């Protein structure tokens, strides 16, 4: 077995589907640990069913470079698999195989194949492809390390200092192999960012104006968690002597979302009846990459905290929107399987005005779903304010994503 750290958050989600005639698809940004999850699943299957034949194809390795399309994949399997015994097939970065769905659809009808694959493209199983494989796959979104996983991977105690380190460096697993020096981490994260930009955006979508794309990412990094629109972005860029139409901005934002570099969060009415078509928030898949792009600044702490809280809500399986009613805003409305929670994020409750603002909007919501204010304060002074729960951000993250 290879040496790795288990991530039960995802393994437990996949376990019910092991051995079933469904394609298990792990999607997420590059370097969030999808490959190691495949390895963990491979070892789990070996231990439970030692007679199962394991086939592992990694499209990032040269030995598999000849597998370029569906026919190549089918012929490779035909040459390497004899007999009718159980086969566990693992394909890493499957989007690099043209028309892969043709072979997968064929294999999933054969009861002896247990199929797992990963992809770094949000549109991997969308549109016509989803229809083609309808009812034959389950998709699992993989994120970087949660705060709880960060502590385990780095062998750290749960302290404010540990959480500060998490805010600065983010959650890409490979960072445990590098020096604790922030600058070295940012050099690595910058290289990952460049790979995502060039391979998953520029090359995939034939982008010509790379400089504009870089400026767009920098704008999003500097406006983390702010409500923006494609029109506002276009106008800002024009003020910087970059003349780009609103439609091009919309297209490029979509490409960045598809690569999992950023997430778009829509606004809804606080009671959920209205969806705003214009103006949304953008967060980064990894705050470390965001910090590597524009630098970690103490003045940005609230933005980074909001990003971290959003990620942990998503890791916990919630669908997340921004709540808006007139001038009142709720940072996050999170819904999951009929449950709902409301979350306000602040840096510090420094005065009564701040307390009134952060708790006040929540107090006006006329339902009994749980409501949270999460901050970097020590919570002993205000742990419960008229029924609203006050938690330190790190404690909220641990509560949301239990290991």
161-182 average pLDDT score: 95
d(CA 302, CA 304): 5
Once rounded to an integer, what is the mean pLDDT over residues 256-263?
96
Residue 39, pLDDT > 90, answer yes
Q: 90-99, 227-236, 338-347, 375-384: lowest mean pLDDT where?
A: 375-384
CA-based nearest residue to 104, from 96, 114, 402: 114
Q: Are strands 262-265 and 281-284 parallel, antiparallel or unpaired?
A: antiparallel
> Taking the CB of residue 209, how many other CB atoms lie within 10 A of it?
14
Is residue 96 within 8 A of residue 120, CB to CB? The reply is no
**In Å, what is the CA distance from 152 to each residue of 6, 7, 100, 158?**
10, 10, 36, 10
Binned at pLDDT 50, 70 and 90, residue 380 comes out as low
The CATH number, out of the four listed (1.10.760.10, 3.30.70.1150, 3.90.1570.10, 3.40.50.300), of the domain defined by the range 8-141: 3.40.50.300
**Res 24: pLDDT:** 95
Go through 270-287 and write b for each residue having 16 or more CB atoms within 10 A of its CB, e for each that does not: beeeeeeeebbbbbbbbb
Q: Is the pLDDT of residue 82 over 90?
A: no
More confident residue, 125 or 201: 201
pLDDT for 325 equals 80
Q: Please compute the mean of the pLDDT values over residues 44-60 and round it to a whole number.
A: 95
pLDDT at 25: 93
* pLDDT the model gives residue 403: 46
- Given pLDDT bands bounded at 50, 70 and 90, which one contains residue 241? confident
Instruction: Calculate what percentage of the chain has a pLDDT beyond 70.
Output: 98
325 CA to centre of own chain: 28
pLDDT at 180: 82
What stretch(es) of the chain map to CATH 3.40.50.300? 8-141
Contact 120, 93 (CB under 8 A): yes
Q: Is the pLDDT of residue 3 over 80?
A: no
Q: How far apart are CA 120 and CA 26, in angstroms?
A: 9
- Alpha-carbon Rg for the chain in angstroms: 22
Helix (H/G/I), strand (E/B), else coil: 337: coil
How wide is the angle at C-alpha 285 spanned by C-alphas 244 and 126, nearest 5°?
75
pLDDT reported for residue 372: 97
Joined tokens for residue 348: 């510090």
Residue 128: pLDDT band with limits 50, 70, 90: low
Q: For the ranges 35-49, 63-77, 238-252, 362-376, which has the lowest average pLDDT?
A: 238-252
DSSP-assigned beta bridge partners for residue 114: 88
* Mean confidence (pLDDT) of the chain: 92
Q: CA-to-CA distance for 95 and 251, rounded, in angstroms?
A: 20
**Closest to 287 in 3D by CA, of 252, 317, 267, 312:** 312
**Dist. CA 45–CA 54, nearest whole Å:** 9
pLDDT at position 277, please?
76
User: Looking at residue 1, what is its pLDDT?
Assistant: 47
Per-residue model confidence (pLDDT) at position 129: 66
Work out the average pLDDT over 27-33: 95
Residue 122 has pLDDT above 90, yes or no: no
C-alpha closest to that of 334 among 356, 317, 349: 317
Res 326 pLDDT > 90:
no
Counting Cα atoms < 13 Å in the Cβ hemisphere of 2 gives 13
Percent of the chain residues past pLDDT 90, beyond the cut: 76
List, in order, residues 6 or more apart from 189 with CB less than 8 Å away.
Answer: 169, 170, 172, 175, 286, 288, 289, 291, 292
Find the largest Cα–Cα distance for the chain.
73
pLDDT exceeds 90 at position 278: no
């Amino acid at each position: 077995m290879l040496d790795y750290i288990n991530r039960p958050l995802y393994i437990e989600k996949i376990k019910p589907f092991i051995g079933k005639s469904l394609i298990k698809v792990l999607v997420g940004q590059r370097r969030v640990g999808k490959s190691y999850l495949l390895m963990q699943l491979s070892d789990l299957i070996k231990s439970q069913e030692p007679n199962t034949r394991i086939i592992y194809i990694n499209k990032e390795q040269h030995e598999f470079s000849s597998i370029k399309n569906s026919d190549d994949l089918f012929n490779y399997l035909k040459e390497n698999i004899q007999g009718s015994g159980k086969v566990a097939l693992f394909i890493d970065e499957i989007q690099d195989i043209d028309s892969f769905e043709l072979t997968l659809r064929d294999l999933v009808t054969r009861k002896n194949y247990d199929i797992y694959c990963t992809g770094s493209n949000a549109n991997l199983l969308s549109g016509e492809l989803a229809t083609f494989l309808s009812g034959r796959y389950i998709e699992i979104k993989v994120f970087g390390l949660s705060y709880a996983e960060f502590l385990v991977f780095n062998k750290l105690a749960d302290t404010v200092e540990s959480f500060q380190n998490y805010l600065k460096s983010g959650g890409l697993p490979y960072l445990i192999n590098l020096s604790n020096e922030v600058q070295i981490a940012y050099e690595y994260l910058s290289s990952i960012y460049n790979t995502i930009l060039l391979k998953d955006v520029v090359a995939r979508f034939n982008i010509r104006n790379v400089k504009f794309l870089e400026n767009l990412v920098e704008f999003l990094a500097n406006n983390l968690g702010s409500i923006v629109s494609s029109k506002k972005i276009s106008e800002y860029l024009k003020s910087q002597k970059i003349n780009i139409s609103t439609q091009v901005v919309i297209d490029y934002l979509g490409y960045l979302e598809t690569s999992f570099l950023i997430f778009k969060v829509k606004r809804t009415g606080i009671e959920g009846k209205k969806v705003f078509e214009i103006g949304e928030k953008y967060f980064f898949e990894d705050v470390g990459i965001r910090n590597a792009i524009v630098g970690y600044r103490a003045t940005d702490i609230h933005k980074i905290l909001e990003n971290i809280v959003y990620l942990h809500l998503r890791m916990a399986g919630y669908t997340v929107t921004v709540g808006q009613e007139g001038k009142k805003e709720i940072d996050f409305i999170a819904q999951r399987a009929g449950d709902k929670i409301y979350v306000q994020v602040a840096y510090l409750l420094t005065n009564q005005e701040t307390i009134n603002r952060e708790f006040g909007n929540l107090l006006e919501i006329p339902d009994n779903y749980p409501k949270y204010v999460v901050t970097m304060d020590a919570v002993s002074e205000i742990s419960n304010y008229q029924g609203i729960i006050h938690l330190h951000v790190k404690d909220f993250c641990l509560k949301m994503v239990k290991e």
